[in-house]
């Protein structure tokens, strides 16, 4: 018997806090282009990279939008994989999602040092 948690169409305070924290940490994606990509790749290279990234995000958003309409359950990619492909594939998907989230948090957290370096010059020296 399959049991899923139905989607709740409201945000509780913890959900709002998690979304805000994720946005703060994800802000590193906007700090890095000006500090690293622009000087190394030039304006055209940085623009090209941002356009490729935007296209990929639009594609991912389209896929998630389709899956949410078709399977309105909580759990995101793991739940969709479990529902469509079964337990084995969902297990692999869950592990890869966990590894991805762990690695992306550490990469985006480096932006905090860069922000501190710009806002408080000399604090890291």
Closest C-alpha among 110, 84, 62, 63 to residue 4 = 84
How does pLDDT run across 39-83, given as a tens digit for each residue?
Answer: 787 888 878 888 898 899 899 889 888 988 888 887 888 988 998
In angstroms, the CA 71 to CA 18 distance is 23
**122 has a pLDDT exceeding 70:** yes
Read off the pLDDT band of 94 (50, 70, 90).
very high
Provide the pLDDT for residue 7: 64
Contacts of 22 (CB under 8 A, 6+ apart): none
Q: Are 4 and 74 in contact (CB under 8 A)?
A: yes
Q: Which pTM value belongs to this model?
A: 0.58
Mean pLDDT (the chain) is 80
């Amino acid at each position: 018997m399959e049991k899923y948690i139905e989607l709740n169409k409201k945000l509780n305070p913890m959900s709002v806090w998690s979304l805000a924290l994720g946005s703060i940490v994800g802000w590193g994606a906007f700090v890095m282009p000006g500090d690293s990509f622009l000087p190394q790749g030039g304006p055209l290279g940085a623009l090209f990279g941002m356009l490729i990234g935007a296209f990929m995000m639009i594609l991912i958003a389209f896929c998630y939008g389709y899956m949410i309409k078709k399977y309105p359950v909580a759990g995101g990619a793991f739940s969709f994989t479990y529902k469509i492909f079964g337990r084995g594939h969902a297990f692999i998907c869950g592990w890869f999602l966990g590894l991805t989230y762990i690695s992306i948090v550490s990469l985006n957290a480096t932006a905090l040092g860069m922000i501190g370096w710009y806002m408080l010059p000399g604090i890291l020296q």
